[in-house]
């Protein structure tokens, strides 16, 4: 069985020992009463790696696949999604209301973003998490991401890369006396690239303008990098590096030259998101039900949010990275 399809196989779940009610949590079996198991299940969501073992079962399963808990699980998910949707919708209405009363305020962009988030959440619930099959696939996929050795290796690797990028820039700024000298020496300065210093397209995207810029990209990278590494392996590192370089070049050539330089790994991040989306479209069994559409919505929300919140966002870079990733994703989807 391939690495990308084993998450669907319940036979890969841990075996249960004994004839008592048990839960499998934090990598170990814990015997419990029926009431204690019910209490744990009442707080369970598909991203939670909790597994349940019935007295007569020899295998641990996600709670949604235990018949006694199916209704409880679906009710818990419904209540959680309803509460989140109501909260996001209330924020959206509040921001949109402020924008009507005070057109000069910056509330309208936040209102639009909250509206998109609410819509994404509602659609994900209606088309994927309202039914037993959709919840089961989502639960098996998330458990595999936590338990798979390749998935764990991927999250550690991307975390180390992110840390190295941040520490390297901090060290350079400390030795050179600030961020401006670092950009002049190593950044994607458009004039320097046009004068033949093409190596800057390889190194410069790993610099960031601020801590906010850095942490925003790192959060997205840990998400996209971990998923693509878990599904497709170490070759996605090369795809990420290529995406950073190509996106920087595209922003320099087509981005309108709002600034005289480019920085940030967001182009590479959107390349990985493109891989994930296109591969899931080509091979519809690669991802759990509804997860492909959720990924598309979140990616588009990221692009639109950047454009709405910052008129100087590197939108060309994001779209170019996304397109490059989609081309690579067609290959990965067919291969898997």
C-alpha count within 13 angstroms, C-beta hemisphere, residue 74? 14
Residues 114/92, Cβ–Cβ less than 8 Å: yes
Which of 17-54 are b and which e, b meaning 16 or more Cβ less than 10 Å from the residue's Cβ?
eeeebbbbbeeebeebeeeebbebbeebbbebbbbbbb
Phi-psi region of 314 (alpha: psi -120 to 50; beta: other; left: phi over 0): beta
Query: Is the model more confident about 216 or about 36?
Result: 36
Separation between Cα atoms, residue 78 and residue 64, nearest integer Å: 13
Tokens read off for 43: 């707080």
Span 59-87, mean pLDDT?
95
Checking if the pLDDT of 294 tops 90, the result is no
Q: What is the mean pLDDT of the chain?
A: 90
Span 91-97, mean pLDDT?
94
Categorize the per-residue pLDDT at 1 as very low, low, confident or very high, splitting at 50, 70 and 90.
very low
Residue 88 pLDDT? 95
Query: Could you count the other beta carbons within 10 Å of the beta carbon of residue 238?
Result: 10
Which residue from 110, 3, 13 is spatially nearest to 61, judged by alpha carbons? 13
Residue 199 pLDDT? 95
Q: Is 135 exposed, middle or buried (0-12, 13-18, 19+ CB in 10 A)?
A: buried
Give per-residue pLDDT as tens, 107-142.
888 898 899 899 999 999 999 999 999 999 999 999
Global pTM value: 0.86
The architecture of the domain spanning 149-335 is Up-down Bundle (1.20)
Give per-residue pLDDT as tens, 155-178.
999 999 999 999 999 999 999 999
Separation between Cα atoms, residue 72 and residue 68, nearest integer Å: 8
**Domain-wise residue ranges, the chain:** 1-147, 149-335
Residues 205/268, Cβ–Cβ less than 8 Å: yes
Separation between Cα atoms, residue 115 and residue 24, nearest integer Å: 38
Separation between Cα atoms, residue 200 and residue 300, nearest integer Å: 29
Separation between Cα atoms, residue 274 and residue 174, nearest integer Å: 35
């Amino acid at each position: 069985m391939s690495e990308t399809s084993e998450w669907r196989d319940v036979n890969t779940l841990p075996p249960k020992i004994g004839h008592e009610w048990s839960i499998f949590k934090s990598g170990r079996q814990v015997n419990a009463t029926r009431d204690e198991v019910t209490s744990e299940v009442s707080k369970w969501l598909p991203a939670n790696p909790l597994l349940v073992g019935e007295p007569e079962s020899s295998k641990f399963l996600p709670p949604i696949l235990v018949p006694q808990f199916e209704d409880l699980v679906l009710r818990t998910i419904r209540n959680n999604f309803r509460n989140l949707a109501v909260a996001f919708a209330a924020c959206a209405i509040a921001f949109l209301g402020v924008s009507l009363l005070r057109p000069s305020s910056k509330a309208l962009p936040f209102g639009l973003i909250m509206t998109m988030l609410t819509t994404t959440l509602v659609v994900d619930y209606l088309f994927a998490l309202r039914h037993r099959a959709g919840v089961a696939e989502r639960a098996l996929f998330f458990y595999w991401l936590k338990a798979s050795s390749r998935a764990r290796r991927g999250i550690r690797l991307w975390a180390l890369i992110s840390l190295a990028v941040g520490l390297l820039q901090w060290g350079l700024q400390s030795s050179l006396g600030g961020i401006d000298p670092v950009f002049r020496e190593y950044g994607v300065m458009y004039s320097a690239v046009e004068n033949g210093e093409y190596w800057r397209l390889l190194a410069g995207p790993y610099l960031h303008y601020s801590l906010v810029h850095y942490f925003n990209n790192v959060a997205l990278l840990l998400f996209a990098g971990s998923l693509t590494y878990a599904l497709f392996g170490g070759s996605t590192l090369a795809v990420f590096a290529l995406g950073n370089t190509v996106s920087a070049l595209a922003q320099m050539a087509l981005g309108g030259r709002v600034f005289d330089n480019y920085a940030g790994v967001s182009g590479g991040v959107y390349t990985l998101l493109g891989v994930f989306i296109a591969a899931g479209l080509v091979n519809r069994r690669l991802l759990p039900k509804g997860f492909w559409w959720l990924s598309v919505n979140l990616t588009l929300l990221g692009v639109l949010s950047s454009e709405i919140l910052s008129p100087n966002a590197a939108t060309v870079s994001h779209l170019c990275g996304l397109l490059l990733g989609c081309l690579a994703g067609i290959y990965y989807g067919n291969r898997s």
